[in-house]
Structure 1
Amino acid sequence: MKKQPPRPLTLRDVSEASGVSEMTVSRVLRNRGDVSVATREKVLNAAKQMGYVPNKIAGALASQRVNLVAVIIPSMSNMVFPEVMTGINRVLETSSLQPVVGITDYLPEKEEKVLYEMLSWRPSGVIIAGLEHSDPCRAMLRAAGIPVVEIMDTDGTPIDAAVGISHRRAGREMGRAILRAGYRKIGFLGTTLGADHRARKRFEGFTEALAKGGVEIAETEFYSKGSALGKGREITQTIMTRRPDLDCLYFSNDMIGAGGLLWMMEQGYDIPGKVGLAGFNDVQLLQGLPRKLATMDSCREEIGSRAAQIILDRLERDEMVVEDTSKVELSPKISFGDTLRM
C-alpha cells in the first residue's frame, strides 16, 4: 500500500498543540498584538516541535509582496560580491526580509531574464549591481513600485537610489599617486572593458589623471573570462615581454595583480624600485602574499549594508519615492603596500 504524503501543517494544528486560539497563534507567529510572554513561548515551542513553517504565500496574496529582497549581481566567483552579500545579510538578518540572489554573468540579456523572474515573485525590494541596464530592465525597475538600490557605482543617474563609489574618481586618484611616485612608463592590464562598466570607468579616470600630468598610457593588455592568479601571471609576462621598459603596471583588480606580482618576483624584478605595481579592491584573501600589493578598497561590505538599510528604512516609512540624497558615495582609500614608491 502506497504511503500518503503528509499534509502541510496549519494554524489549527499549532492551536490544538498549544491549547490557544488560532487568532492568538497568528498574532504570535506574526509578532503582532498583545500576547503574554508565557502564551508566546507556549505557541513558539509547539510550532518548533511540530516543524511548522508559516505559509508566506497566503500573506503575500493580501499584501502583493513577499518578504524577499532580490539581489542581482554579475558573479559570485568574483571575490567582490561575497563581501557585498555579507553586508546585505548583516542588516537584513535583523528583519523579516531574506535576500535571494540572481547571477547575470555580466550579460544584459541574462540580467533582463533574472530581473523578470525575480519581480514576478513580487519582492519587497531590489538591490542590483551597476547603473547601466537595458531599456527593458530600466522599465521593469521603474514600474516595480518597490525600493530599488543600484550598487557599486555612483558615476551616473540612478533609477531610484544608489550606493557605491565613483570609479572614475578611484582611477584618477590611483593615477595621481603613481605619477607622484615618479613612474612615467605605465602599462594597464585588465578585463575587456565592454562588459565591465566599472573597470572601464576606472580606466577612463586613470588615463585622464595621467594626461593631466603629461603622460600617456604606454601599453595595455586585456583579457576575458576570469580574474585568476594564473591569468595575471600570463598577461604580465605578455606585456613585459612586449615592453620591457615599463616602470609601472596598473591592474584592473587585485587577483590579476597578485598573479603579476608573483611572476615578477620570480623573474627578479626590483619592486617597487624599478617597477611599481597596483591593483584594485583590497581583497583580504591576498594578505598572505610575500609582498602586499598596492591597492584601493572598494568599500564592498559597507556598500551591501548601506543598500540593505535603505531598503529597510524605505519599507518602514512606506516611501516609494526618495529624495536627491538617495545617492550615497563612499570614499575608498589607497593602500601603498610594498609595491609602489611613496
Structure 2
Amino acid sequence: MARLANVSENTVSRVIRDKGAIAPETRRRVIEAIDALGYVPNRAAGSLASSSSMIVGVILPSLSNIVFPELLRGIHAGLAGTSYQPMIGVTDYDLEKEQQLISSLLAWQPAAIITTGFDHTDAARRMLEASKVRVGELMDIDRRPIDLAVGLSHRGAGRAMARHLMRRGYSKIAYVGHDWDADRRAHARYLGLCEGLGDVGLALVAEHRVDGPSSTLSGRQALAAILADGAEIEAVAFSNDDMAVGGYLHCLAAAVPVPDRLALMGFNGLEIGQALPKPLATVLSNRFAIGKTAVETLLKSPDRAFEPAIIDTGFSIIDGATA
C-alpha cells in the first residue's frame, strides 16, 4: 500500500489512525490506495480475540421505513440465545455512507456483516469480497451475492401483481411510484409488472413517479395527479403500501369508489394497509423471516461456502378488498 501511494509505511499508518498532520495530496493518495486494495485496518487487534467474533454488523438504509425495523426484529430473534451482539448502522440510502460503515465495521473483524440489497460502491464491494467474514445481502435474490442472499425476487413480485390484477378482470392498469435511484427494488417490481402485462399483450396505460422516497402524502398526491391527466384507468399498482395507502386516502377524499371505480394494489403487506376500511390488496414480503433466516444461516459456519448461496423466502398475495 505504501508503494502504491508512494509514501512511507509510517505515513500510511498515520493516515489510517488519523494521527498527526498529513498533507491533503498525501492523504488523498493513501485513501485511493486503500480503496484500490480493499484494505481494512483491524481495530480489534489490540483487544481480546473473542471481541472480534461476537459482533454482527447490520447496515440498514432506513429506520423510519417500517420495513427495515421488521427486518431488524427478525435479526434480533435470530441472535436470541446466542452471545452475538448486533452493531447497527444506517445509510439513508447513501452508498458512500454505506462504504464508510462497511469499512468501520470490518475494522472490528465481525463474525458477519448484513447489508440490504446488492448495490455497493466498487470500493465497498472489494472490501466485502476481500474480507474473510460472512456477508449477507438481504431483501433481494435476483443477482449473484458475495456470500449469501436471503429475500425474494422483486421482479417476480411485480409479475405476480400484474397477474393478480388481470385475474380480477382489470386490463387498463397504471403505475404510481417513488424514486428508483434510492430504491432499486421498487424499480425491479416495476419491470416485473411491465413484463407481466407484456406477456398477454398489455402495457401500462399511465404512470407517475414522485421524486424522493415513498410516503402516504406522496401516494395521495401522485394518484390525484395521474387521475387528473384523464387516462382511462381501472386499476393502479403502487410501488409499495405507503404509496397505496395515500392513494386510498385520495379516493376517500375525492369520493372515488374503491374498487368499483378504481382498484388499488400495493407491496409489502404492512399492517396499516390491512387496517384501512377496505383492507389493501398487496404482496406480502416476509421481512421478519428474511432477517431471522439470514443471521441464523450466517452464524452456522464461520467460513464462506465455495459458491454463494441464495435463500428464497418468497412472497404471497393478500387479496384484500381494494382490487
The question of a shared fold, defined as TM-score above 0.5 by the shorter chain, is answered with yes
3-state SS of the aligned residue for 2:236? strand
Pairing 1:160-309 to 2, within 5 Å after superposition = 160-309=147-296
Q: What is the SS of the residue equivalent to 2:68?
A: helix
Partner of 2:156: helix, strand, or coil? Answer: helix
Match of residue 81 from structure 1: 68
Instruction: Summarize the Cα distance change of 1:322–1:243 in structure 2 as closer, same or farther, 3 Å threshold.
Output: farther
1:281–1:298 contact (8 Å) kept in structure 2: yes
Deviation at 1:320, TM superposition (A): 2.9
Where do 5+ consecutive residues of structure 1 fail to align? 1-56
**Counterpart position of 2:305:** 321
Q: Name the amino acid aligned to 1:196.
A: D
Inter-partner Cα distance in structure 2 for 1:314 and 1:223: 43
Distance, in Å, in 2 between the alignment partners of 1:163 and 1:229 is: 28
Deviations 1:11-41 (CA, angstroms, capped at 9, x unpaired): xxxxxxxxxxxxxxxxxxxxxxxxxxxxxxx
Identify the range of structure 1 (216-225 vs 249-258) with the bigger mean alpha-carbon deviation.
216-225
Contact 2:172 2:205 in 1 (8 A): yes
Say what the alpha-carbon RMSD is for the aligned residues: 1.8
Greater shift, 186-195 or 141-150, is seen at 186-195
* Matched-pair contact (CA < 8 Å) for 1:276–1:339: yes
Q: Which moves more between the two structures, 243-252 or 95-104?
A: 243-252
Tell me the distance in 2 between the aligned counterparts of 1:176 and 1:113.
41
The DSSP-based 3-state class of the residue aligned with 2:57 is strand
TM-score by length of 1: 0.78
- Measured against aligned partners, the alpha-carbon deviations of 1:46-73 in whole angstroms (never above 9, x if no partner) come to xxxxxxxxxxx69944357241111111
Question: How many percent of aligned residue pairs carry the same amino acid?
Answer: 38
Partner in structure 2 of residue 54 of structure 1: none
Contact 2:177 2:238 in 1 (8 A): yes
Kindly provide the amino acid, as one letter, of the partner of residue 112 in structure 2: G
2:146 matched to 1:159? yes
Cα deviation 1:200-228 (Å, max 9, x = unaligned)? 11111110010111111111111133322
Does residue 335 (structure 1) correspond to residue 318 (structure 2)? The answer is: yes
Work out whether residues 165 and 331 of structure 1, in 8 Å CA contact, stay in contact via their aligned partners in 2: yes
Query: What does the per-residue CA deviation read over 1:177-217, in whole Å, with 9 as the maximum and x for residues that have no partner?
Result: 11121212211111122221111111111100101111111
Picking from 101, 111, 119, the partner of 1:132 is 119
Q: Secondary structure at the match of 2:251?
A: helix
Gaps of 5+ in 2: 1-43
SS of the equivalent of 1:221 reads strand
Q: 1: distance between equivalents of 2:144 and 2:90?
A: 23
Deviations 1:315-340 (A, max 9, x none): 3xxx233555x200122111110011
Conservation of the 8 A alpha-carbon contact between 2:134 and 2:298: yes
Correspondence for 2:99 among 91, 112, 118: 112
Any idea what SS the aligned residue of 2:136 has?
strand
- Structure 1 CA distance, aligned partners of 2:63 and 2:245? 19
Deviation of 1:99 (Å)? 1.0
**Where does residue 108 of structure 2 map in the other structure?**
121
Take 2:320 and 2:164, find their aligned partners in 1: how far apart are those partners? Answer: 13
Q: Which moved more, 1:300-309 or 1:188-197?
A: 188-197
Which TM-score applies when normalising by structure 2?
A: 0.83
Q: How far apart, in 2, do the equivalents of 1:58 and 1:130 lie?
A: 30
C-alpha distance in 1, partners of 2:169/2:183? 29
Q: How far apart are the structure 1 equivalents of 2:141 and 2:248?
A: 30
| Partner SS state of residue 290, structure 2 | helix
Q: Where in structure 1 do 4 or more consecutive aligned residues deviate above 6 Å?
A: none
Asked if structure 1 preserves the Cα contact closer than 8 Å seen for 2:182 and 2:213, the reply is: no
Which sits farther off after the overlay, 129-138 or 152-161?
Answer: 129-138
Say whether the 8 Å CA contact 1:193–1:200 is kept in structure 2.
yes
Q: Kindly indicate whether the alpha-carbon contact (under 8 Å) linking 2:62 and 2:90 is maintained by their aligned counterparts in 1.
A: yes
Distance 1:131 1:179, change over 3 A: same
